Amino acid sequence: MRPRAVMGIAVGTVLAVTAIVITAWLFTRPSGPDAVADAFLSALAAGKGDDAAALLADPPPEAIVERFADAAAYISDPDVRSIDAASDDAATAVADIALGGTTTRVTLALVRTPVGWRVQDGLGSVTAGTTLGDSIRIGGVLARAGDAVPVLPAAYDVEAAPGDLLVGREEALALPGAEVEVTVRAALGPDAETRAQEGVDAYSDDCARPADAVPERCGIRIPWAADLATLTAVDFRIEAHPVVELSEEDLSFTATDGVLVATVTGVTRTGDEGSFTYRTDTWTLRGDLSFRGDRMVLAVR
């Protein structure tokens, strides 16, 4: 009989603990619209994006929570000043919050849902332009320039992209239910020309592969027609790659002072096979410069 008595005590203990947990959850869960508004703003102030997102009527995409985790600063000193219940299913909360050194009064719309009161318009929106490229980063997450990006209320760093090639940053103070617009004044970063040089070097190496004709769009001119009637093969040797210079003003690049040796083989005007070598120390490539997403694009003209 002892084992049964022990088992009964154990089961009773589990039931008691479960009842305590359920009771605690019911008492700590935000219930009325004022409590939900306060819990939402308190979660934002504490940097708890998941908790704040869970109190929204429409759960946001995970990217919004990711941006919030990398926000430059969170709101502080949230204070719900009043609640206006328009009906049994809708209410409006008026609250003061501090962000960016300024205290601002905000309004939150709340609605009753099957799981309780929720914040309906708790997200803000950031629309960012940039003077270079087609993309920016908001809170570390890549976004298309000019698009309205929904965010949890906070202060966000809006940065030029790609961040390892461009420099430029603005701060966006995103408030609930409001849209903020900023423009990032981007400029070439210190590593931009180094990366561009790597790209031009690789492109030049492709241009200098053995071929049966002079490659196009490579800035290579060989006066082989002065010595040959027909060209059958070209072999190259790069002694120095063209050196890159980027222009931010007209979004272009110029690569100059390359040294290239070309040996051509073909048929001479007398019908004999011949081989001639040419050398230039002014090998030049030119093209357009652009930034797309997280990439720098060099397009040779």
Q: 10-residue block means of pLDDT along the chain (301 residues)?
A: 35 37 43 94 98 95 93 97 92 97 96 96 96 94 95 97 96 96 97 97 97 96 96 98 96 98 97 97 97 96 91
Q: Which amino acid belongs to residue 141?
A: V
Domain-embedded: residue 1: no
Report the run of H or E that residue 194 belongs to, with start and end: helix 192-207
pLDDT of residue 29: 52
CATH of the domain at 154: 3.10.450.50
pLDDT for 30: 62
Domain count, the chain: 2
Nearby residues of 256 by Cβ (< 8 Å), 6 or more positions away: 242, 243, 245, 282, 284
Mark which of 156, 186, 216 sits at the end of a domain.
186
Give, in degrees to the nearest 5, the angle at Cα 196 between 190 and 198: 110
CA 102 to chain centre: 28
Q: Are residues 180 and 201 in the same domain?
A: no
Q: How far apart are CA 201 and CA 248, in angstroms?
A: 20
Tell me, what's the pLDDT at 111?
97
Per-residue pLDDT at 232:
97
For residues 253 and 279, state if they share a domain: yes
Q: Does residue 162 have a cis bond before it (omega within 30 degrees)?
A: yes
- Whether residues 98 and 205 share a domain: the answer is no
The CA–CA distances, whole Å, from 39 to 42, 159, 192 equal 5, 31, 46
Q: Could you give phi then psi for residue 18, rounded to 5 degrees?
A: -60, -45
Range of the domain at 75: 31-186
pLDDT of residue 207: 97
Beta bridge partner(s), residue 158? 138, 170
